[in-house]
Amino acid sequence: MARVADSEDTGQHLQYKDVDDGTVATYIPELGKANPKSFGICLTTVEGHVFSAGDCDHEFTIQSMCKPFAFQMALEQHGPDMTLRHVGVEPSGEAFNSIEFDQKSGRPFNPMVNAGAIAVASLIKREPVQAGIDAFVAQMGRAAGRKLRIDESVLSSETETGNRNRAIAYMLLNAGIIDERLKESLHQYFAQCSMLVNCRDLAMMAATMANIGRHPMTGEAVFDFQNLKYVMAVMFSCGLYDYAGNWAFEVGLPAKSGVSGGIFGVVNRQMGISVYSPKLDAQGNSVRGILACKELASPLGPACV
Ligand code: DON
């Protein structure tokens, strides 16, 4: 039996392909070049069956959807105790680029907001810095089941315009959360965000998570199972920033969004789901992505966590 299945239009794709609300992110100029009409939905089961509709081969940068995977790598490399000395696990209720820290501990609230993700990038960077970036891209490629790469134009654009992230990094340095190799930590973070994926990759990476860390088709153990439960818990409570509570209520899946217009979710032990459509709402989440996931959650059942 073929493990890669048909490519047919899903009801959700037909239903929402004409929704035109939202705006494409332009604060990183390269992201503004995205085609606002692009729309893809992909579901990949833990048995390796792939169901796709629309623009599922079109590549875009992973942006904030890199954050759960980087957190997983930090947990695998340093263990939960050491990792949690640098980043908390509390929802912040704030936007992704908020410059707020947990008053009690001085740490970033969680690894899904930029401050926490920069702290995590600092933990997984290597010497030389390219080695840490290569290790991240290689591990993501094992989860996707194909070799992935960085979009150098987006990386330059992101580096040139990333002053708010630089401000956050200096505050983290001041608080002793990251070390003095601040430029390297930022480069690691910017490069992670600039990695190219398509909807199929994201659904396969999510299915690898759902399959307790084992790639559905290659059978390779990509992620350590013990740490995945921490990552999924933080995705559930913090993955959609200041929309996280509504997401938990309406969709009920551990998930992560990114400003390129992607969202992926994990139906534990069952499947990975991804949606790509670059027009975003006020919280920076894909408008069609949210609609499609809400609609998918009803037949799949929201109690998937
Ligand atoms: O830090 C940034 O600005 C981006 N590279 C990542 C932002 C992002 O995707 C936020 N998510 N919704």
- What does the pLDDT look like over 133-162, one tens digit per residue? 999 999 999 999 999 999 999 999 999 999
Catalytic residue among 38, 87, 189, 277: 189
Q: What is the mean pLDDT of residues 190-208?
A: 98
Q: How far is CA 61 from the centre of its chain?
A: 10
pLDDT of 271 over the 90 cut: yes
Distances (CA, A) of 48 to 1, 135, 298: 11, 25, 22
Percentage of the chain beyond pLDDT 90 is: 84
Is 234 designated active site? Answer: no
Is 189 designated active site? Answer: yes
Q: Ligand 1 centroid vs 2 CA: distance in angstroms?
A: 37
Closest atom of ligand 1 to CA, residue 63: 9
Helix (H), strand (E), coil (C) string for 189-245: HHHHHCEEECHHHHHHHHHHHHCCCECCCCCCECCCHHHHHHHHHHHHHHCCHHHHH
Crossing angle (nearest 10°) for helices 163-174 and 182-193:
140
Which of 66, 67, 160, 259, when mutated, tests ligand 1's pocket best, judged by the most ligand atoms within 8 Å of its CB? Answer: 259
Tell me the pLDDT band of 6, cut-offs 50, 70 and 90. very low
Q: What is the mean pLDDT of residues 17-42?
A: 93
Q: Determine phi and psi for 138, rounding to 5 degrees.
A: -65, -45
Closest atom of ligand 1 to CA, residue 241: 12
Q: Is 64 in the pocket of ligand 1 (CB under 6 A)?
A: yes
CB 48 within 8 A of CB 4: yes
Q: Ligand 1 centroid vs 273 CA: distance in angstroms?
A: 20
Q: How far is CA 179 from the centre of its chain?
A: 24
Which of 23, 60, 63, 97, when mutated, tests ligand 1's pocket best, judged by the most ligand atoms within 8 Å of its CB? Answer: 63
User: What is the radius of gyration, based on Cα positions, of the chain?
Assistant: 18
Tell me the pLDDT band of 297, cut-offs 50, 70 and 90. confident
Helix (H), strand (E), coil (C) string for 33-49: HCCCCCCEEEEEECCCC
Closest atom of ligand 1 to CA, residue 162: 3
Q: What is the mean pLDDT of residues 273-290?
A: 96
Q: Who wins on pLDDT, 80 or 7? A: 80
Q: Who wins on pLDDT, 6 or 91? A: 91
pLDDT of 83 over the 80 cut: yes
pLDDT of residue 12: 65
Q: Distance between CA 239 and CA 110 in Å, rounded?
A: 10
User: Looking up tokens 């013990």, which residue turns up?
Assistant: 226
